[in-house]
Chain A
Amino acid sequence: MSAILAARGLKAFYGQIEALHGVDFEVEEGGVTALLGANGAGKTTTLRAISAMIRREGNLEFRGKRMTARAPEDVARLGVAHVPDGRGTFTDLTVEENLRLGAYVRRDRAAVKADFQRIFGYFPRLAERIHQQAGTLSGGEQQMLAISRALLLKPSLLLLDEPSFGLAPLVVAEIFRILRAINESEGVSILIVEQNANLALDLATRAYLLETGRVVVGGAASAIRADDSVRRAYLGY
């Protein structure tokens, strides 16, 4: 397996408080890697550390090079798109403006235009609501908007923070179906954080289980799913 992102002894801090105590994991190039765990295990923190939204220590390698970017805007410019928890919608802006912001750092205008159309292929509902204020969208639509905004960066790595959060099961199923399609047809590597382990393990090829800021087990998604003791102890189903 070649890794697009590799963390070695990654620590992260909120102020002076260490929230991630040196985790190791790898995100498979072209694959979907899941970070699982209960509330407070450090899943969101890990994504924030990758995006340099919080102070981090340890080694983070992106595409074989040490990632030295110290600000979220620089990480984004490397081609790492982050769909944050809470979806990060610009609620007062229109759907179109939200999407245009996704492509803010790109200069290839023609390709951006084509990407808009491709994204409307995945999420036709966004095309219908293009001039609507983004804050008036439903939760599911805002999640679709957040994913689309991230895709417009033309990322090589997509970080997804609980895309199922607060959504109806049918909407969740639709979003995960589209995520799979995006992963397969765009070749975007995905690192996904989920509380809903069952759902994430369906999508993922690899998975890591976090507990209070440490990795307790990692490996192929199918192996983790098959391991009864892990499932009972940590995934609760």
Chain B
Amino acid sequence: MVELFHQLASGLALGGVYAITALALVMIFQATQLVNFAQGEMAMFSTYIAWWLMQNGWDYWQAFGVTVVFSFVGGVVIERVVVRPFAQAPVLASVIVFIGLSFIFNALAGFFFGYSVQSFDTPFDGRPWFGNKFMSAHESGSVVVSLVVLALVFAFFRFTPLGLAMRAAAQNPASARLVGVRVGWMLALGWGLAAAIGAVAGMMAAPIVYLDPNMMGGILLYAFAGAVLGGIDNPWGAVFGGFTVGIAENLLGAYVVGEEVKLSVALIIIIGVLVAKPSGLFGRRIVARV
């Protein structure tokens, strides 16, 4: 029984990481109907920046803050320079750009920081919180950080004029432009936010999965499974899906399929959802008149 709770708890910790990564995917998807396959590698690269800063003697939270800001700016620049020119191109062109981006970041990380596996600090070390037997301090802290990120993102979209403008731009760009919203910049801002969220996800995941240029591959797959499960056009659904996948992955890995093949759980979820209920649990069914 203790073992079961332990598996549940660590599923929750990685689930938080999946949830915010899924949220970043959904944000871009809502605005562009595209899945950013480079989301994971961008997050990995951001995590290396934080690691490098800390190697050079920076305090954790300073490195954390600078990395988030750097990732935000990086996301905006990538949208403006690399993604924007393909806005009118066929979907496949954008998909190939995203895949290309992910290879580029993977290679850059290897080039600058090497391919060997590094350990990554956590600010939440020491004794488990509140005498919690089932979760390490980092796992508790990472769940809290994920929840804080989720709360901030939702508050931003719900309560600020800029957040409202971003939702309007995603929903009805033509109409948004007619009320004066600079839709192009809203997309860039969305990329910036997604990159910043990804950076947080990477920094929360790295102490658990260790830092190497391929660390986000599995995480992106789980996040994608979470987003698909919850409904890729529904941010709440994505968050729910992310946590669910985190827990399911851990339980199935421990008791059913074993650690070695648990990544296939994500693939099974993706295929299962797409076959049985393509809109996900909370997504909207899109009906097209042909």
Residues of chain A touching chain B, judged by Cβ–Cβ distance below 8 Å, are 51, 53, 71-73, 76-77, 81-82, 84, 88-93, 97, 100-102, 104-105, 149, 153
Contacts and interface: CB of A to CB of B under 8 A. Distances in A.
B171 A93 contact: yes
B168 interface: yes
Contacts of B174: 53, 72, 84, 88
B181 A88 contact: no
Q: Which 3 A-B pairs have the closest CB atoms?
A: A88-B175, A105-B180, A76-B180
Contacts of A72: 174, 177-178
Contacts of A89: 172, 175
A91 B171 contact: yes
B179 interface: yes
B155 to A, nearest CB: 15
B180 A90 contact: no
Most chain B CB within a 10 A radius of its CB, from A82, A90, A91, A102? A90
Contacts of A149: 179
Among B172, B174, B175, find the residue whose CB has the most chain A CB atoms closer than 10 A.
Answer: B175
Contacts of B171: 90-93
B161 interface: yes
30 contacts: A51-B178, A53-B177, A73-B177, A73-B178, A73-B181, A73-B183, A76-B179, A81-B178, A82-B178, A84-B174, A84-B178, A88-B172, A88-B178, A89-B172, A90-B167, A90-B168, A90-B171, A90-B175, A93-B164, A93-B167, A100-B161, A100-B164, A101-B164, A101-B165, A101-B179, A104-B161, A104-B165, A104-B180, A105-B179, A149-B179
Contacts of B165: 101, 104
Contacts of B176: 90, 101
A127 B161 CA distance: 20
Interface class of chain A by DSSP: loop
Contacts of B175: 84, 88-90
Contacts of A101: 164-165, 168, 176, 179, 181
Nearest to A97: B164
Given A101-B164, A101-B168, 20 more contacts: A53-B178, A72-B178, A73-B180, A73-B181, A76-B179, A77-B180, A88-B172, A88-B178, A90-B168, A90-B175, A90-B176, A93-B164, A93-B171, A100-B161, A100-B164, A101-B179, A104-B180, A105-B179, A105-B180, A149-B179
B182 interface: yes
Interface in B108-161: 161
Contact of A71 (B161, B164, B167, B177): B177
Interface of B: 161, 164-165, 167-168, 171-172, 174-183
A90 B172 CA distance: 6
A76 B177 contact: yes
A105 B171 CA distance: 18
A127 to B, nearest CB: 20
A102 B176 CA distance: 9
A84 B176 CA distance: 11
Nearest to A103: B179
Contacts of A104: 161, 164-165, 179-181
Contacts of B183: 73
Nearest to B284: A92
Contacts of B181: 73, 101, 104
A102 B171 CA distance: 15
A91 to B, nearest CB: 7
Contacts of A91: 171-172
Max count, chain B CB within 10 A of own CB: residue among A53, A72, A93: A72
B275 to A, nearest CB: 27
Contacts of A84: 174-175, 178
Contacts of B180: 73, 76-77, 104-105, 153
A73 B171 CA distance: 16
B169 to A, nearest CB: 10
B185 to A, nearest CB: 9
A156 B90 CA distance: 40
A72 B174 CA distance: 9
B285 to A, nearest CB: 15
A133 to B, nearest CB: 12
A102 B164 CA distance: 11
A153 B179 contact: yes
